[in-house]
Structure 1
């Protein structure tokens, strides 16, 4: 296989995103996340590096299961403090022409009508460079922040998400016909009322009259990102997603996840090639192996295992267990284990010390990690893309902006020499960049397209 490999920079509007403890590194600028210049400078850097997009994660609660409360997360800046990801997009869009923006927003706690207008507004302001990362929010504290006693059960959250997207498709695709906006100054008619329709949605979870308040934006529906790893999440991705952030933890597992999602998408009548897959990628690169080793050692001094344990949200402190105890035995005894934490480690023969060593080591947190020279990094990127079927990667930040700067200076030229990285942007929407010229709206086989009004 060959072809252009897509890249997002995986970011979050906070101090500590994925690599916990590194906010203390003197070369890290993450403490500047409240400074608008931090975001505009980052956007200009990524556009110079010809990135596809910046992918902004988000949470709406604190990690409070570890050691019985949020104190570790608060002390270690584990995604708290965190600001709204949507609000930095217009500023980044104003200083770029091509960079895309994938923003995370939950379907579980806020109603769909207002979110439809937010995303249409962003799609207008960016001239069609916006994606929405659909999440259902798994944190117990998030539920309590929005007035609930506890989390909504997992599959019910996806049931809500299905109806949420149905409402949004009706608003984005069906409420305003093509040609509704006339801007006829002579007749004093901006919009033809006969071509703007209420949606009159009445469902199990939502009642929305409409019409949509925003006129059609360049993409109408933003590019749909999704990152669910459960059975229900995979079905949701196969039905709706145009880009999938796959969370499997080995090359073989990533390959199977991608093949499985494509099979499911085909069963829904979709074109499987209309889904772009982005495994996470952790890259440390330098011109020589000596410099690489020095960077690794330098980063390792700042890594904080407590931050990783708090984010994994297991509700237990592994450091309090016998280092030689098997994870399988801990899981077998039961307790409050989340899908994202300890239970996925069962069946691997791991002991407590293995997990503690892993979370305290640079490079944990995703399936793809490579530290090396530009040639070695490019070799591994090509191998993973070709052997898994991945069409791109989400590049994790260790130091901001140092990680992106190193990648752009050293890896991008090497991939360009191999014909695997673009050498310029085409004028396009984000969807066209992923699916091809002219595909600025949802493909006809996507379920959202069924809500379009036929002339």
Structure 2
């Protein structure tokens, strides 16, 4: 049976996310991002389209590299202003039953003890539909805002991330046993003291002594997403990630990146096929090919290539505004996103070429066509690269998601490459076609688990 496509909507709690400038389109509603209706309507729409999840990006800090100022960032609303992504989940979970929520949170600025409680709370309230996109940050503007002189060195951030995950596993998996909660009214025992353990962690980055504040949630540990593609990032993903998000421009390089992800998981003693790999993609679709290209031209009119390049400047740490249009851009290894700077190193780039690449305001692969053409291209990307699915960006919202759901989803279903209904269970069970909501046995987090034991006979007692 051919592999079915997994699909997340890719969004952010802000106006301009990936394809910049399109907030100026008269049909775009992204300036309403501050309202609950904007998000609950989106959640209902995505569940109608049988999306696996809504992947919500986030950033701590501001994009101040381009022109050494916030001028373009503020004028074009390049992920600024940006609100907290986690606070959206309760409202969206209340109006949906199956849609998952992949939430980005920067561990550099989140105390693990309190963050564990937030994750467990959302996993409870969503009935097990939460994932966490693990990021370590890359903006010096964030470091300064949080009281640091600059970001920690790239690989050092991953050292800290490894220890952070150890603390979370101890809290989420190891503090409360599955059988800790008995809710015995007659004996006045809600939780068995002998089945709740104190976490004691004394490491290089974190010192934690205490009990996890929440009883076990449906998944315990949320589904773990990660997007690093450097050598150190891949090693981290091999140990921890269940889903990996990559950015691809052409199929051969994307296939190589997928293979690296799976090899990293195998090197860590895990099933390489147990890691789901998603690629960011943009789709512009209409009933006919001519209408789709006309719509693409319409969107290009409102998009801001300069805003896209300004965003990319902070991803690389290079101020592209300093270069003339056709002046070669000098490469220098920095402390930002290594996959972004590697793109500049591997080819001869100028600001003109960057502006052309960012014509739609972003640099993801863009598919334009009628429903059948788009469906075949998505299937081709999946089959030719080993991908498992896509993070679908928005262009003009909500119409870009509506068009995909109404036009492309039926075509994928007719080809047997997209589900016709949701499976039951948690987000982890849905994504991995599993009947178990917790981390699998070969995942390192499972080794921290506080395993159940038979309840004592007779009256429950305090240990």
Q: Provide the residue aligned with 2:193 in structure 1.
A: 193
Q: CA 1:168/1:316 → structure 2, altered by over 3 Å: closer, same or farther? A: closer
Q: Provide the residue aligned with 1:326 in structure 2.
A: 328
Q: Provide the residue aligned with 1:396 in structure 2.
A: 393
Distance 1:231 1:340 in 2: 10
The equivalent position to 1:420 in structure 2, one of 417, 427, 449, is 417
Deviation at 1:43, TM superposition (A): 0.2
Counterpart contact for 2:4–2:419, Cα < 8 Å: yes
Counterpart contact for 1:284–1:371, Cα < 8 Å: yes
Distance 1:134 1:441 in 2: 18
Deviates more, 1:261-270 or 1:8-17: 261-270
Distance 1:2 1:174 in 2: 38
Counterpart contact for 2:180–2:191, Cα < 8 Å: yes
Q: Provide the residue aligned with 2:228 in structure 1.
A: 228
Deviation at 1:71, TM superposition (A): 2.2
Deviation at 1:167, TM superposition (A): 0.2
Gaps of 5+ in 1: none
- Asked if 1:379 corresponds to 2:376, the answer is yes
Q: Provide the residue aligned with 2:87 in structure 1.
A: 87
Deviation at 1:308, TM superposition (A): 1.2
Distance 1:4 1:229 in 2: 24
Deviates more, 1:148-157 or 1:42-51: 148-157
Deviation at 1:343, TM superposition (A): 4.9
* SS of equivalent residue, structure 1 residue 427: coil
* SS of equivalent residue, structure 1 residue 277: strand
Q: Provide the residue aligned with 2:456 in structure 1.
A: none
Q: CA 1:336/1:257 → structure 2, altered by over 3 Å: closer, same or farther? A: closer
Deviation at 1:319, TM superposition (A): 5.1
Deviation at 1:346, TM superposition (A): 2.1
TM-score (norm 1): 0.96
Deviation at 1:140, TM superposition (A): 0.6
The equivalent position to 2:440 in structure 1, one of 443, 448, 454, is 443
Distance 1:336 1:202 in 2: 28
Distance 2:413 2:218 in 1: 30
Q: CA 1:150/1:302 → structure 2, altered by over 3 Å: closer, same or farther? A: same
Q: Provide the residue aligned with 1:53 in structure 2.
A: 53
Counterpart contact for 1:20–1:78, Cα < 8 Å: yes
* SS of equivalent residue, structure 1 residue 279: strand
* SS of equivalent residue, structure 2 residue 246: coil
Q: Provide the residue aligned with 1:365 in structure 2.
A: 363
Deviations 1:129-164 (A, max 9, x none): 000000001011111111111111111111111000
RMSD, aligned CA: 1.7
* SS of equivalent residue, structure 1 residue 182: strand
Deviations 1:348-374 (A, max 9, x none): 233432222212x128422x3210000
Deviation at 1:294, TM superposition (A): 1.4
Distance 1:338 1:192 in 2: 46
- Asked if 1:409 corresponds to 2:406, the answer is yes
* SS of equivalent residue, structure 1 residue 56: strand
Q: CA 1:86/1:337 → structure 2, altered by over 3 Å: closer, same or farther? A: closer
Deviation at 1:336, TM superposition (A): 8.9
Distance 2:100 2:300 in 1: 32
Distance 1:168 1:337 in 2: 26
Gaps of 5+ in 2: 454-463
Counterpart contact for 1:67–1:316, Cα < 8 Å: no
Deviation at 1:322, TM superposition (A): 3.6
Aligned residues: 450
Counterpart contact for 1:68–1:315, Cα < 8 Å: no
Deviations 1:12-48 (A, max 9, x none): 0001111110011111110000010000000000001
Deviation at 1:341, TM superposition (A): 4.6
Deviations 1:226-259 (A, max 9, x none): 0012111111111100000012332111111111
Distance 1:10 1:400 in 2: 12
Q: Provide the residue aligned with 2:142 in structure 1.
A: 142
* SS of equivalent residue, structure 2 residue 51: coil
Distance 2:69 2:370 in 1: 42
Aligned pairs for 1:95-106 within 5 A: 95-106=95-106
Distance 1:438 1:315 in 2: 44
